[in-house]
Homo-oligomer: A and B are copies of this chain.
Amino acid sequence: MDEKKSRIVAVAKEMIALYGFKKTTMDEIAAKARMGKSSMYYYFKNKEDIFAEIVRIDSDHFRKKLNDTIQSAYSPQDKIMQYVRTRMLHLKELSNYYKTLTNEYLDHYFFIEQVREDFYNFENKTLSDLINEGIQQNIFAPCDVDLVVHMIAIAIKGLEYPLFVQKELDLERDSKQMMEIIFKGIEVRA
């Protein structure tokens, strides 16, 4: 059961990465997964459902990766810095993998919105926790945490920009610099 499901997901993921969601047909997926088309409907409600599963799994991995990153860093600054760095690099990979997808991304599917919102909440909570941690350790000055998180989110959006306009920039360097500036803005002054 699970083997079949993940086989379908794996095949679909591969093809969608290559050809995009619309251009990947159920017949093709079925053929490549070596099963009849209608068999797939035993495991998934419909085409979108398969895609939703792909996105869900990817999103889970992403979150785990980010949590690991945070745990292997020490200071709050480093945690946040590494969080942003990992986030940007992963996004870059992603936008590279799903190259054809970024175009039809505009016709956004409803479940993507859902995942996006979930991730937004995850990110918000994660960053809030880290800022609060920094404040408690007397590294960051007491401040409006939500506001700072919002500012970091805006900075991240700005850093994301080149990914969607095919501009080649040094993401890693830029992320680092940007976060350093923000840290200076919230650190306790000596």
Contacts and interface: CB of A to CB of B under 8 A. Distances in A.
Copies of this polypeptide in the complex? 2
Contacts of A182: 181-182, 185
A104 to B, nearest CB: 12
- Which 5 pairs between the two chains have the least Cβ-Cβ distance? A158-B158, A184-B185, A181-B185, A157-B158, A154-B158
A189 to B, nearest CB: 6
Give the one of A161, A185, A186 with max B CB within 10 A: A185
A182 B174 CA distance: 14
A151 B181 contact: yes
A154 B147 contact: no
Interface residues of A, number: 23
A182 B183 CA distance: 9
Interface string A122-166: 000000000000000000000000011011011111110100000
A186 to B, nearest CB: 7
Contacts of A159: 154, 158
A177 interface: yes
Contact of A154 (B150, B151, B174, B186): B174
A26 interface: no
Nearest to A190: B189
Contacts of A189: 189
